[in-house]
Amino acid sequence: MNRSNTKGKLLFHVLAFITMALWGVTFVSTKTLINEGLTPAQIFTIRFIIAYLGLLAVCFIRGGRDKKAFSRSVRHEIVFLITGITGGSLYFLTENTALAYTQASNVSFLVCTAPLFTVLMTLAIKKIFRGPMVDGLEDVRVGFPLVAGTAIAITGMILVIFDDNSLSLSPKGDILAFMAALCWAFYSQFMGQMTDGYGPLFATRKVFFYGLLTIVPVLLLTDNSNLTSVPFDRIQVWGNLLFLSVIASLVCFVVWNRVMLAIGNVTATNYVYLNPVFTLISAVIILNERMTLASGIGSAMILGGVILSGVKKSDKKDQNNK
């Protein structure tokens, strides 16, 4: 029975793999746009306006619940607001700003600590709170793989942040990437349940809406005069904006929310460990980035720690289900 369920969910594991491959390239696309003169807040806003309008059109064409403006309760609207901030405005603001201060590969490897924080948050939430939404979170167990994997990944994160054996390095970008990982872990807690209750199109549209709404204060408090000098006619600009908005946002977010519903918030988020692999490959090819020995070792430790804590957990769960 367990084997049959695994086969039935194979498609969603494949979709998770493809989504992570595409999201791995987004770090390089965003870094390219920053180099072309756009700010992190501007990139997020342009990217999500295009994605939101496209998703809104699809929802109106489909009709039914996808066309509705509000969820069924104020409580659910608050949940969508929180996911819009943690999976939208705050996540991308911290991640995109990090790219302005450090290498794309560094940011990607640090963001891949999100699975660890997802597991820890899930354990804490299920321990402290009760209710239908909490009950819908994936069951996880604390064991040696989780503890050892967490310790290895955190040690690797320290090596990446201080990769030249000196405290004179400005760790601002790496710390921002770490904050982005925390945001994504929080977003992952409840998006599966919201997708289950409202469908992937409606749920994703609400996240995009509240993400855009909460980025407005940042835009109003910053100088946007640089927009007049950004070469929007260059393929490096409009091509990357289209990729980020249509493929990486509109399509990938809808698919990812559906994946979390199908295979669980923790199992799905474990695929984030593949993200830096694709980022590193694309960064070396497109941006000519190089990693120091310490940074390379630290990145490998992050990757290994996440794999250890995630894959071993899944294996134990499978044995318990037999």
* Contacting residues for 215 by C-beta, under 8 A, at least 6 apart: 41, 44, 45, 48, 88, 89, 93
Which three-class secondary structure state does DSSP give residue 164?
coil
How far apart are the C-alpha atoms of 146 and 272, rounded to whole Å?
Answer: 16
Mean pLDDT of the chain, nearest integer: 81
Q: Is the model more confident about 153 or about 322? A: 153
pLDDT tens-digit series, residues 90-149? 999 998 898 888 777 778 778 878 888 888 888 888 888 787 777 767 677 777 877 787
Percent of the chain, pLDDT > 90?
27
Give the pLDDT band of residue 49 (cuts 50, 70, 90).
very high
Per-residue pLDDT, averaged over 313-318, amounts to 44
pLDDT tens-digit series, residues 31-44? 899 989 999 999 99
Per-residue pLDDT, averaged over 188-207, amounts to 87
- Confidence check: pLDDT of 13 > 70: yes
- Show me where the domains of the chain are located: 13-321
- Give the pLDDT score at 147: 78
How far apart are the C-alpha atoms of 122 and 112, rounded to whole Å?
Answer: 17
Give the pLDDT band of residue 169 (cuts 50, 70, 90).
very low
- Give the pLDDT score at 303: 76
Per-residue pLDDT, averaged over 145-163, amounts to 75
- Confidence check: pLDDT of 316 > 70: no
Two tokens at 164?
Answer: 């030249």
Per-residue pLDDT, averaged over 60-70, amounts to 80
pLDDT tens-digit series, residues 241-281? 999 999 999 999 889 888 888 888 777 877 877 777 777 77
Per-residue pLDDT, averaged over 206-219, amounts to 93
- Give the pLDDT score at 322: 39
- Give the pLDDT score at 146: 73
How far apart are the C-alpha atoms of 102 and 107, rounded to whole Å?
Answer: 7
pLDDT tens-digit series, residues 275-313? 777 777 787 777 776 767 777 787 788 778 777 766 544
- Confidence check: pLDDT of 63 > 70: yes
- Give the pLDDT score at 310: 60
